[in-house]
Amino acid sequence: MRHALVLAGGSGTRLWPYSTASVPKQLVPLFDGRSLLDVAVERARAVAPEVWLGTGTALQTAVSSIDGLAPERLVLEPSGRDTLPALTLGMARIAAEDPSAVVAVLTSDHLIEPLGAFVATLERGFAVAEEHADALVTFGVVPDHPATGFGYLELGAPLVGDALVVARFAEKPQRPRAEQLVEQGALWNSGMFVWQAATFLRAVEAFAPDTHALVARVLDGDVEAWEAIPKTSVDYGVMEPASTSPEFTVAALPLSARWLDVGSWPQYGEALGRGGDGNAVGAELSVLLESRDCVVASSDPDHLVTLVGCEGLVVVHTPTATLVVPVEHAQRVKELHQRVLAEQEKFA
């Protein structure tokens, strides 16, 4: 049977002050009262009859109200150990219920449009994984510019249909290297996958045996074993070594869709859409006078946000904090959030 596992870990601190430890960005109602996780679960239900959610135990109550998600389909991590332990735990849970499960691993912090293009690509991914027992299928986004904030998939020989073998994974590159990768036809690494659960677990046992053994102990009731698991990403721990192993085939399918990583306030502005003056507004009440290329957001529908003569600013209001930052420094919001946490006694 086909399953989908939606990953909803991470804190998303570049979207502070909307995103906090207790309400991370995937749970914030950013789009007409709907959160990124609401959208992600709906997207998952369009591709698989069984939808699972991987998240931390601290968020169990917060995610329990997500429409279309059964409580028994929660895969709870005691703490964040990066994506490889999270996926190993999820695949082991799914395989225990359905040994022949084919699973799509989906993110919860992106907007992907149109839905039809996404579903069609996932259908092809499922078909590849179902027909090739050794396949670990990943999805690559067709770049529209040489981005330096994403990893890349360098492609090799055709496998089947439009699926290509992944020759190598490239980490987030400098601008000249990014331009070269785009010219060579490399894809952005979306962090989404399809594989047979048993195939993935076999790969973990081969390339990350400690993680495989410790997750098995956790599932046997030894919860303390979780903290001994090395923090490792799935790309580094499994996908990269599998791409050079004769025992596995790492394949990529191009995802020709609008794919937005809503990981910062400028990216949130792009997701909202900008008017003729370049402003992106996510506030119920706002007045912008002679202002251009700004991102304005407010979580309080009764609070009026006003700008005069501003250009290239991010202005965010919540009942507990206000953020003002030039767009070009928006990536420093994570650094700012760390400073706020370090000095939070001042604000108590």
pLDDT band at 9 (very low <50, low <70, confident <90, very high): confident
Q: Distance between CA 234 and CA 330 in Å, rounded?
A: 28
Using the Cα atoms of residue 205, residue 209, residue 214 and residue 215 in order, give the sign of their dihedral: negative
| pLDDT, tens only, 37-50 | 999 999 999 999 99
**Average pLDDT of span 318-334:** 95
Distance, CA of 212 to CA of 231 (rounded, Å): 13
**Of how many residues is the chain composed?**
348
Is 2-260 assigned to CATH 3.40.50.720?
no
CB 157 within 8 A of CB 151: no
On the question of pLDDT at 258 being above 90, the answer is no
Q: Report the C-alpha gap between 36 and 115 in whole angstroms.
A: 14
pLDDT at position 97 is 96
Angle at 9 between CA 7 and CA 10, to 5 degrees: 135
Whole-number mean pLDDT of the chain? 94
Q: Are strands 187-196 and 102-107 parallel, antiparallel or unpaired?
A: antiparallel
- CA–CA distance, 149 with 167 (Å, rounded to integer): 20
320: its two tokens: 């507990």
The arithmetic mean of pLDDT across residues 5-26, rounded, is: 86
Distance of CA 32 to CAs 18, 255, 301, 337, Å? 15, 26, 12, 25
Radius of gyration of the chain, Cα coordinates, nearest whole angstrom: 21
How far, in Å, CA of 58 to CA of 97, rounded? 25
- Contact predicate 94/103, CB 8 Å: yes
Residue 170's beta-bridge partner residues? 152
What is the three-class DSSP state of 296? strand
Closest CA to 241 of 7, 128, 84: 84
Concatenate the DSSP letters of all residues of 29-62 into one string.
--BTTB-HHHHHHHHHHTT-SEEEEEEEGGGHHH
**pLDDT at residue 345 greater than cutoff 80:** no
Give the mean model confidence (pLDDT) for residues 332-337: 93
> Can you give the pLDDT at residue 11?
67
What is the pLDDT, as a whole number, of residue 239? 97
pLDDT for the residue numbered 293: 98
Residues of the chain above pLDDT 90, percent: 82
> Cα–Cα distance between 91 and 95 in angstroms, integer?
6
Query: Hunting for tokens 């699973």 — which residue is that?
Result: 103
Q: Quick check: 13 pLDDT over 80? A: yes
Residues 18-25 have a mean pLDDT of 85
Whether the per-residue pLDDT at 348 is higher than 90: the answer is no
Q: Which residues contact 19 (CB under 8 A, 6 or more apart)?
A: 11, 12, 13, 25, 28
Strand 304-308 to strand 285-289: parallel, antiparallel, or no bridges (unpaired)? parallel
| Residue predicted with more confidence, 280 or 28 | 280
Confidence of residue 14 (pLDDT cuts 50, 70, 90): confident
Phi, psi of 336, deg, nearest 5: -60, -45
Taking residues 176-198, report their average pLDDT. Answer: 96
Instruction: Tell me the pLDDT tens digit for each residue of 139-151.
Output: 999 998 998 888 9
pLDDT of residue 109: 86
Find the mean pLDDT for residues 275-290: 96
What pLDDT score does 288 carry?
Answer: 98
Answer whether residue 22 shows pLDDT above 90.
Answer: no
Write down the residue that tokens 């007045």 correspond to: 287
Q: Looking at residues 216-226, what average pLDDT do you find?
A: 97
The stretch 123-133 carries a mean pLDDT of: 97
The per-residue pLDDT for 75 is 97
The stretches of the chain forming alpha helices (DSSP H) are 36-45, 60-63, 83-97, 115-131, 175-183, 197-207, 209-219, 234, 240-242, 265-272, 333-342
Mean pLDDT of 92-116: 95
Domain ranges for the chain, please list them.
Answer: 2-260, 265-347
Given this model, what pLDDT does residue 347 score? 67
